Structure 1
Amino acid sequence: MATINKRNGKYCVVYYYVDVKGKKRQKWETFDSISEAKARKSIVEAETAKGSFIPPNTDTVESFLDTFIELYGYQNWSVSTLTRNRSTIKYYILPYIGKKKLQDIKPIVIEKYYRNLKEQSVIRPMRSNTDGKVTSYILKSVHKLLNCAFGCAEKWELIASNPFKKVTPPKHEYAKKEIWTSEMISRALGTMSRFKTT
């Protein structure tokens, strides 16, 4: 059972939960208005009654992604996929949301993160020939990786639901490819025949 206490002009929802080590703890969640506090109290009580309440934890996105790679990545990815995903995490995820708490990642946080990422220049070793702008392909890859990771977080009961399912993934804009005409094909074949060895 949760209660609401008023303190310093704010409204606190107070409840008990059992942490991952099996210890009973008290939690205070502070809200600006009584309506927000009542809404949170209802959620806590309803989820507790259903047995679906996720206790608060202080895991950051960074610490969770380490666990995700260890438990999921090593089992399901090839060496090249593991290398690529580690690079994606290092350059496109950790500098932006790595220090945020896992449970604080909401759809609005994701939308802001994607907007900010699109506007950034990302410096990566061995990529000096590019302008450093984050492409739509990379944004789509980031979304796919985080959607998978947060799906595991939901399955492992670290979060109540996967917030990436509520966000429209960034669209990848494919470059329009030129279709060769018969004249271009003939010219290419002619050029290749000159280099043919006898």
Structure 2
Amino acid sequence: MKGTVKQRGNTWTYIMDIVRDPITGKRRQKTKGGFSRKKDAQAALRKIQSELDEDRFIEPSKESFSSYMEFWFTSHYQKRIKETTASSRKYLMDKHLIRENPFANKPLSKITTEDIDAFYNLKLDEEYSTSTIRKLHQLLNQAFGQAVKWKKISFNPVINADPPSVKKEEMKIWSFDEIESFLNQCKGERHYLTFLLAIYTGMRKGELLGLKWSDIDFGKKSIRIQRSLSHIPIKDIVYQRRKRKNQNGKSRFLISLSRN
């Protein structure tokens, strides 16, 4: 790679040919000035030449963080996760990382670990749960990690960031008397059977809403969970096949309704 050092006024500047544009064929150059001594400019030039020779040189991206995030999410991230997960992560990204983020419009290459930590503290001050902040941390880490792989930045600032630990709240469950009181109050209501099944089978909301009559075997008093109903804003309602397995590798789809 060609490079040269020139004097401009009282300071020295290096000029380095990086690569040629694959479309226009024009040379791309990196220039940096302000060196008080010629040998300092020459040392900086040699460093750039060494990085280029060893394929370590990265020209910092000038695109904004928000622009990069939208591109990364649609072109890469959402193609590798379930539709329901993509929908919830898209909401988190749009709300917290783009609309309500102090560094949303900052160049991607200028974002620091300090910026990331300040963002986490902002969300804590706004009283968002530690679980939500950890999800944002995971999104940021994956996005910046990919930016490093794509050679848009040289370092992932999220690696040294300090997200809050998830605070687990003790689960409060109803007593048998409370369950009986609730079901007595619901008798005659439209969703009584839904509540009854939820309490006595442990099925999730999506699994309950995804049930069909063909899933119920009245003779064997059992329910086979075949699908889950999810809501995705763009597609409205989507059925998803269940894929959960137990420790033995067998599908855990059957729930017995028999009483002892």
Equivalent residue for 1:73?
Answer: 77
The CA deviation string for residues 74-110 of structure 1, in whole angstroms up to 9 with x for no partner, is 3112222222122111111113222011111221221
Task: Considering Cα pairs closer than 8 Å and 6+ residues apart, tell me whether 1 or 2 has the greater RCO.
Answer: 1
2:51 is aligned with what amino acid?
Answer: E
Worse-matched range after superposition: 49-58 or 184-193: 184-193
Equivalent residue for 1:114?
Answer: 120
Distance 2:130 2:162 in 1: 13
Q: 2:109 aligns with which of 100, 103, 114?
A: 103
Higher strand share: 2
Shift of 1:52: 0.9
Q: Given the two structures, how large is their TM-score scaled by the length of structure 1?
A: 0.68
The CA deviation string for residues 90-142 of structure 1, in whole angstroms up to 9 with x for no partner, is 1111132220111112212211222223223xxxxxxxxxxxx3221111110
Q: Equivalent residue of 1:115, what SS?
A: helix
Higher helix share: 1
2:155 is aligned with what amino acid?
Answer: S
Q: CA RMSD in A?
A: 3.6
User: In 2 relative to 1, CA 193–99 (structure 1 residues): closer, same or farther, beyond 3 Å?
Assistant: closer
Q: Equivalent residue of 1:164, what SS?
A: coil
The CA deviation string for residues 133-161 of structure 1, in whole angstroms up to 9 with x for no partner, is 32211111100111111111111111112
2:66 is aligned with what amino acid?
Answer: E
2:16 is aligned with what amino acid?
Answer: Y
Structure 2 residue runs of 5 or longer lacking an equivalent are 189-260
Distance 2:166 2:73 in 1: 25
The CA deviation string for residues 17-52 of structure 1, in whole angstroms up to 9 with x for no partner, is 536945412333779x99xx99x9486455334221
CA contact (8 A) 2:61 2:153 kept: no
Equivalent residue for 2:31?
Answer: 27
Q: 2:86 aligns with which of 82, 87, 97?
A: 82
User: In 2 relative to 1, CA 186–162 (structure 1 residues): closer, same or farther, beyond 3 Å?
Assistant: same
Larger Rg: 2
Q: 1:160 aligns with which of 144, 154, 157?
A: 154
Equivalent residue for 1:177?
Answer: 171
Q: 2:177 aligns with which of 172, 179, 187?
A: 187
Equivalent residue for 2:232?
Answer: none
Residue-pair matches, total? 175
Q: Equivalent residue of 1:151, what SS?
A: helix
Q: Equivalent residue of 2:167, what SS?
A: coil
Distance 2:49 2:21 in 1: 22
Structure 1 residue runs of 5 or longer lacking an equivalent are 121-132
Shift of 1:7: 8.3
Matched, 1:16 2:22: no
Equivalent residue for 2:68?
Answer: 64
Q: Given the two structures, how large is their TM-score scaled by the length of structure 2?
A: 0.54
Distance 1:5 1:175 in 2: 65
